[in-house]
Structure 1
């Protein structure tokens, strides 16, 4: 058995995929999650502790009971329009709770930290693709709460022995090819999930929020990364820190952008269903185009994408959702 690691938010969509890969790699895992958006059934390895990061006393108890070599921090609120409506909740859950976690690391001597950040820290960048050295100018409370968390980690790293890897996610989608894990939230706002729901007749239509962006077809452009490739990036980051690597900030994406209209058309093609699409006003805080430059993560971590295929991402999502509806047995979703 390898080292023991703490995974906050490990019952959630991305965290659960990482926990599964950690288990397969031989790590002893403790998941700390309040299960407000995650599910205990998604924790396929290790021990689940139900708790909130705002509960410092319970968090310290968990640290005291286990000798963690590293912390992987996923727990957060992440819906951009919601952050505009409830900014204080986002600063509390994302920024303050990261501070609580770092205080525990400080007291208990944990000096390896992997943080789930976001491309939202870049805001409306003039560069495409975006590199890690581009200015961080978030345009919504979600992005600002995550950037503030990054500042906390970086400042604490300067003053201590903490070494960290901050991973800035672009748009995460897809499901585990073995059919065991996938998105669970019934209120998901991610385009691919929403479009797949429409293809399965769960939703009457798909709305395009903004068709007047300064992009070729007027709709927003995003870089979509398969959740399994993203999970692998976390294990690569952990190996890197275990080998003594210096602190890093790294983009997680493929460097390929697709517009909202392009994604919708691919979901229709893969599913074989022509569902209604309607136009709606822009949502507050949505940038026009966000595409990653992922050269640094490949160079620093040796990360290699294995699922860089939009149709594959869509296929695994649809198959996962059909499986949840009982329309197909659990199986390997895509080879």
Structure 2
């Protein structure tokens, strides 16, 4: 096996891997970036999503507005496809998390459709975008690797999104080796929080949870991955499912991040300014504010423990088997840019409710901090 892995480091002709590919979730931030990169490399790309991308469809790519839960449509779109990048998912953050039936129907039912279509269309390669949440639910993980960190038991997941992603991941791995004209080769990538130009969903979710960041602090740490590094990992994973790469990735899972760890939690820095920023964004109507406030209490209670423990993962296996070598990026710059982009001038007519809500937010944060540290 070691001889094979060394052989993977030699250069290969990239034109050997220019297939027709499908990217599910191709209208989302990561899916679109992946599809755009593949199209620029010469792949024929199909972007599939229920929502249209916010940017123009790149040359070499075609967009279909459809749902992976629509089997007939998915089957039709996959004609001639040679590789599927399954990035579509639902329920990662916000009010979506509470829609359990929809979370399960997309993440589990949709993934089942993708697997069946791969089999019936004899599509030989399937790369699944999972998450580190399948192995992390609040208990410390320091420099975990694929061999040593087990799945979180289904009844211990902190949210239904993580639970369904774990189920879907195992479905993809079980499908590996299924008989087609040849065999279906599958692999799973487990990224952490994604950041990059224009990406606010992961960053906004975690900043809301943490309220601030300080880099270099010796407290709890986690990993992040720049979107371009994640795109690179997916392309390398697909190539590693081919005979020319000895199908080294077949049936395998890989943690994917930038190869560095950053601090998670500092409850002092930028507290007042960030809380005020968040509160101002949600005071348009009393009903909307109340819904948001209760959702945030629920969300923070679920997540409070997670932000005070290490959860870091090594990428040695991806480096060794995929040839993954992440480029260095600065997460701190991304956070700073995010905060500047979210600045909202206060409305003088609504100062009093803003300040009252600010006090409520500070009290809630103090309570959550206390509960989080008590749990350790």
Matches within 5 A, 1:40-79: 40-41=54-55, 43-45=57-59, 46-64=61-79, 67-79=80-92
The correspondence for 1:162, drawn from 184, 194, 199, is 184
2:25 maps to which residue?
A: 9
Q: Equivalences for 1:21-36 in 2 at 5 Å?
A: 21-35=37-51
Q: Of 246, 256, 273, which residue of structure 2 is paired with 1:252?
A: 256
Kept after mapping to 2: 8 A contact 1:32/1:50: yes
Q: Which runs of 5+ in 1 are unaligned?
A: 176-181, 196-205, 323-335
For the 8 Å contact 1:99–1:152, the answer to whether it is kept is: yes
Deviation at 1:83, TM superposition (A): 6.1
Question: What is aligned with 1:191?
Answer: 203
Q: Pick from 279, 284, 287 the counterpart of residue 302 of structure 2.
A: 284
Q: How far is the alpha carbon of 1:314 from its aligned partner?
A: 3.5
Q: Within 1, Cα distance between the matches of 2:42 and 2:27?
A: 19
Bigger Rg over Cα: 2
What pairs up with 1:288-303 in 2 under 5 angstroms?
A: 288=307, 289-303=310-324
C-alpha displacement of 1:125 = 4.0
Q: Secondary structure at the match of 1:41?
A: coil
CA 110–318 in structure 1, closer or farther in 2 if over 3 Å, else same: farther
Using a 3 Å threshold, how does the CA distance of structure 1 residues 230 and 317 change in structure 2: closer, same or farther?
farther
Helix, strand or coil at the partner of 1:284: helix
Q: Structure 1 stretch 84-93 or stretch 286-295: which is displaced more?
A: 286-295
More helix by share: 2
* 1:200 aligned partner: none
Rounded to whole Å, the distance in 2 between the matches of 1:127 and 1:57 is 42
1:144-293 alignment to 2 at 5 Å? 144-160=163-179, 161-175=183-197, 182-183=198-199, 188=201, 190-191=202-203, 208=210, 221-242=221-242, 243=244, 244-246=246-248, 247=250, 248-253=252-257, 254-261=259-266, 275-277=273-275, 282-284=300-302, 287-288=306-307, 289-293=310-314
Contact 1:174 1:316 in 2 (8 A): no
Task: State the distance in 1 between where 2:316 and 2:329 align.
Answer: 15
Q: 1:76 to 1:21 in 2, by over 3 A?
A: same
Q: Which runs of 5+ in 2 are unaligned?
A: 1-14, 279-295, 343-376
The structure showing larger relative contact order (alpha-carbon pairs under 8 Å, at least 6 residues apart) is: 1
Q: Aligned partners of 1:97 and 1:125: how far apart in 2?
A: 29
Contact preservation (8 Å) 2:172, 2:187: no
Q: 1:316 to 1:252 in 2, by over 3 A?
A: farther
Normalising by the residue count of structure 1, what TM-score does the alignment of the two structures yield?
Answer: 0.74
| Superposition misfits of 4+ residues, deviation over 3 angstroms | 80-84, 191-195, 206-210, 276-281, 312-319
Q: Deviations over 1:226-262 (max 9, x none)?
A: 1111111111112222334231200011241321339
**Separation (CA, whole Å) in 1 of partners of 2:145 and 2:260:** 10
- Contact 1:12–1:42 (CA under 8 A) maintained in structure 2: no
Residue 42 of structure 1: how far off its partner (Å): 5.5
Q: Secondary structure at the match of 1:135?
A: coil
Is 1:86 the equivalent of 2:99?
yes
Q: Say how many residue pairs are matched.
A: 284
Deviation, 1:277, is: 3.6
Q: Distance in 2 between matches of 1:44 and 1:307?
A: 26
Q: CA deviation at 1:193?
A: 7.2
Alignment of 1:109-148 (within 5 A): 109-123=122-136, 124-133=138-147, 134-137=149-152, 138-148=157-167
TM-score (norm 2): 0.67
Counterpart Cα distance in 1 of 2:100 and 2:144: 26
